[in-house]
Chains A and B, each alone.
Chain A
Amino acid sequence: MATIVGGFVVPHNPVMYFNPKGASAEQSATVYAAYARMAERIRELRADTAIIIGCDHYILFGTEALPPYVISTGEIEGPVDQLPGIKRAPIASNAALGAHIAAVGRQTGFDWTVGRAMQVDHSIGIPHHLMIKPNEGMTTVAVMLACGVDPYLPMARAWQIGEHIAAAVESDGTDQRVVVIGSGGISHHVGNERMGEVNPTFDRKVLDIVARGDREAMLALTDEEILQEGGNGAMEIRTYACAMAATRAAGGEVVAYEPIEGWVTGMGFAELKVAA
C-alpha cells in the first residue's frame, strides 16, 4: 500500500524570480529558507513521489475548454512560463500513480481530465524546483485545480478531491511514500487595481485554519470573502483545502509567513501532519 507520509502548503510566486529585490534581504532569506527546510523535511520523510496541487493562470487552458481539475497520467513538462533560473524542461513523472488516481476517480465520482503529456505552469514548476528537484530520484504527479479562471472549482469540491486522492493513494499496490503539496499564494491581487495589496489579517486567518486542520472553517470561506479580503489570487487556497483533505486534516505547523508587498503576495508556508 502506498502511503501519504507528509504534506505542505507553499506559495508559487513568480515575482520573486522576476523582481528579486522586491523583498528585503531578510524577507527573501526567510522565504528561501522555508522552501529549503521543506525540501529537507521531504528528504527526512523518505518520500518517493510528490503530488503537487497547483492551479492554472490562464496559461495552460484557454477559452476553448476550462477543466475543473486535471491530473498528469503521463509525461510532464514545464514550466511553460519560464522563469529566470527555472527553464522549461521535462519533470520526472509518476505516470502510474497519476493514472491509478484517475482510474479510481472514474469509479468513485471524480471524472478527472487527464494530461497524458502534460504541460504545467509555475504553480507546479516553482515548488518542484525548490522542494522536489533537490531530492534526487523523486517523481511528481501534477494536479491542477481551477483557481485562477472562472468557473472556479468550489472549495468543497477541492476538499473532496483531496479525500479522494488520499483514498486512491492508499489503494495503490506499491509501497511508495508520497507527499502532497498545496501550491498557492494567500492574499494577492493579480492584474487588477489592487495589485500590491497584501492582507496579513486574512493570511493569518488562513494559516490558522491550516494549522488547526479545520475543515469547517476552510469550507466556510466564501468566494466573496476570499476575493474581497485576499484578492483574486487568493482563490488559490483551494489547493490548501485539497492538501489538507489529502492528509486527513490532521492539522499542521506554520513554518514561515512573510507579507511582501513588493512581491505582491502574502507568502505562507506550513507543514501538514498526516492522520494515523
Chain B
Amino acid sequence: MSVRASLMVTCLGDALFPRVGVAAVRVLEALGVRVDFPRAQTCCGQPAFNSGYRDDARRAARAYLRAFAGSEHVVSISGSCAAMVRDKYPALFEGRPEAHEARALAARTFELSEFLVDVLRVDDLPVTRHARATLHHSCHTRRTLGVVEQPERLLGMVEGLQYVPLPRAQDCCGFGGTFAVTMPVISTAMVDEKVDHILGTGADLVVGLDMSCLMNIEGRLRRRGSALEVRHLAEVLAQGWAR
C-alpha cells in the first residue's frame, strides 16, 4: 500500500514559488507517494503569531486544521511552517476544543527532507547534478524540527554534486518573518554576512529547505550583483531526476 501525503505549499510557496511545490510533488510521486493538495490551505498563521497577534494566528491555524483534517502525512516545503504547526499549534490550542486535533496534525507534519529520510527511508536517489553546492540550514528547520543531517544526506546521494559546508551555518540569515521589514537594517546586516560566507565557499549553487530564507538570501545576492543559483532542495532533486 502506498504512502499518502498532502503537500503544504505555504503562502509564500503558493504565490511566489509554485515551481518548488511542483518539484516537491514530482519527487514525492517519483518515490511512489500518492500526493494530494488540500485546496483549503492558505497560511499557517506564523506571521500573525510571531508578531504577537495570537487570536488572528489561532484563526488561521484553525483553518489549517480543517484543511489538513483528512491527511495521512503533511509534507511542507518550508521547515519554518512545519515548525509552526509542530511546535506552536499544540500550545496555541491548549485547553481548547481543537487541542487534540492540533496535536494530531503536529504529529503527522514533516518538512520535506525529513519526510524523505525519516519516513520514506530514502537512501538512494537516481539524481544527477553537476555542481559545487552549499546548504543553508534554516533556523526553525535546524533548531525546532531538529532536521540537520537529513538534507546533507540527500545531497550526498546526488551524483556529481560536491557538497561544501557553509561556515557559521548555524547563524540566522536575518529573514525572521516580519523582522525583515520591521528591523530591515539589522536584517540586512545579517543577510550580508550570510551572503559573504556563501560566496566564500566558492559554491555555484545554494540549496535550502525554506523559500523564505532563500528569498532573503537570493534577494541580497542579486542586489549585490551576484547571479549565484539559489534552489530549494526539491528543485535540485526534481531537475536532476533520471527520466
Partners in one complex: no
